[in-house]
Structure 1
């Protein structure tokens, strides 16, 4: 089996040629030196990427999304570190880590990496909420690949919607039939709240979105504080 990561980042002409090649191999029934199966990894599914309707999404055995970590899963992840190293986390640090990251896997692991490797906390010292706040501040102000990818790939056409969600008290109904909302959910930026309105996926994303889109001239930035 072959795995191709970040398939949705491949230029569309190249992706089309690749899919046509797979289709020709499939139809020829050629058994020799051909991939038995291909796994495509990316934000969008193959059906969302396929603009060429002459290529059917044939023989898709399964497709699945990787969900965010639950609070319990974050707790177990940190416990594995404690079991291995002996360093403990304060219960409130567990809670804060999950709340601020929303369980997003990269953010959870980046936060844990910062806490355990970069702040100089002694192994015999319990990782506290104060330590978490230091790591949180560091991550909000760093240029890591994940957050840079988030902000550079949010198309400007989403600006009004995202800033309205961030700043409005009225709320925007969570409607997956809306093209913009559906696409932002696909990219992991939005989620539906328990009240039926749109929410930014986690507070770290919200901070980055506001920092990216808020106006900087004539004092207009106050609108979004």
Structure 2
């Protein structure tokens, strides 16, 4: 029985596998037309699996050689050439069960002779595929690329039908310049799974085992991993191997436990890599996280390029964003503003959640927000005065307050959750009912009207009748709660004053 693959290249014999027909057709077409190209994608997005599939589809007609430079980092020219030849011999033996002998070139420039020798031994045109190419020492990279470039211009002589360089990033420092020794190359980027591909992956498990994913669970896997292959497989694997093992139906309750563990307990190498890369650009990632739609996406900015090429951020309507919700939630928790010690002000010994639960078991969110206003009135001068806050700082403050009460009654507060074709700032799930909250800070009148319209659409698409807009502003004179109704939907608008006097002036 196959399984969800959570590490290393996918073996179709043991793992569920998603076909990539569009990019596969593009890659095979480039090979057929003697093109040299690069393939890039962040880690655990399936690029090595994709390249292994190219090997399987071409090895009867051509001689694909797939080697990795992962361990080549500290080698000098002599060691590099010895290891390269040894890896080529091993790869041919592994794929074709044929042992050959090759001479070790005396210099990198002599690799062209090595190519002729390989063709003479095997009788097939060569596809040279090199993974982790950027691990090679920079001087060796340039020498190697110069040789490949010279071969490219006489490729029929050397029988190198295609050279494919694979990397985590776009090899931007080596390949993008017109003067680059490899500016002959085209580029393929391995995308995340589409929604249809995610559902196909899950259906393979259903057909082989009889265990089924509830439709809502499939949607949640898609929404939280956004098609990121490594995360999609990891979430599904945790559900079938741990949370719902031996169960016929995987439910939303199972998924909530899985999501909690990924956010709070597990050390996932894919997520940890994203956090590690984000740390190096902390100030920028803080702005992207906590001041959405403010940082324009411009690949010429080296900071943005770095985060993009390492799979941390993406482009959303012209702005930088964290497109994978699970990444966003982990980064949100990691970089959240430090407001330690506030809980004792948010809820005292006299405060319990009982008074905020209605007789029908629903949450009296407006009454709870009145308690929040009371908290801000007492702590606003300390919390907000004289600080250059991003919008997300206010959101996190509200998130922490609501979580303190809602989770005491076994409800959940989720930040940045997919709803109604968009992403809501805060979603409360309480006694099987959802409450949508959009948070805005220091917005203009036009932005205010846009926020109301956007929230209204989210509410309608989610099949709800009520939603909440919380606006933090220096320009409002006092706290207030307004209600607007449109098309049978109620908008609760809370204005939160942030223009407090300095703490030293408050007696």
Q: For residue 113 of structure 1, what is the aligned residue in structure 2? A: 237
SS at match of 1:63: strand
1:198 is aligned to: 320
Partner of 2:128: 2
Matched with 1:15 is: 141
- Comparing 158-167 with 178-187, which one deviates more in the overlay? 178-187
3-state SS of the aligned residue for 2:262?
helix
* CA gap 1:20/1:143 in 2 versus in 1, 3 angstroms: farther
Of structures 1 and 2, the one scoring higher in RCO (CA 8 A, sep 6+) is 1
The answer to whether structure 1 residue 49 and structure 2 residue 174 are counterparts is yes
Using the TM superposition, give the Cα deviation of residue 20 of structure 1 relative to its aligned residue in structure 2, in angstroms.
3.4
Residue 294 (structure 2) aligned to one of 136, 160, 172: 172
Please give the TM-score of this superposition, normalised by the length of structure 2: 0.38
C-alpha separation in 2, matches of 1:29 and 1:98: 44
1:213 Cα offset (Å): 3.6
CA 52–155 in structure 1, closer or farther in 2 if over 3 Å, else same = farther
Q: Separation in 2 of the partners of 1:11 and 1:133?
A: 45
Listed one character per residue, the Cα deviations across residues 5-43 of structure 1 (whole Å, up to 9, x for unaligned) are 2323444344334323434555687956x7543211123
Aligned to 2:255: 132
Pair 117,9 (structure 1): closer, same or farther in 2 beyond 3 Å: farther
**Aligned mate of 1:186, from 306, 309, 323:** 309
1:70, 1:100 → 2: CA distance?
13
How many aligned positions are there? 218
> Mapping of 1:50-129 within 5 angstroms?
50=175, 55-60=180-185, 62-119=186-243, 121-123=245-247, 125-129=248-252
> Whose helix proportion is higher, 1 or 2?
1
Give the CA RMSD over aligned residues: 3.2
Q: Deviations over 1:49-96 (max 9, x none)?
A: 348875432432x42112222222211221121112111111110111
Distance between the aligned counterparts of 1:122 and 1:173, measured in 2?
47
SS at match of 2:275: helix
Q: Which runs of 5+ in 1 are unaligned?
A: none
Q: SS of the residue aligned with 1:192?
A: strand
Give the secondary-structure state (helix, strand or coil) at the position aligned to 1:37: strand
- The verdict on how the C-alpha distance between 1:165 and 1:24 changes in structure 2, with shifts beyond 3 A counting, is same
**Secondary structure, counterpart of 1:83 in structure 2:** helix
Any stretches of 5+ residues in structure 2 without a counterpart? 1-126, 342-382, 384-391, 397-507
Bigger fraction of residues in strand:
2
Larger Rg computed on CA atoms? 2
Q: Corresponding residue for 1:159?
A: 282
Taking structure 1 as the reference length, the TM-score comes to 0.78
Moved more, 91-100 or 19-28: 19-28
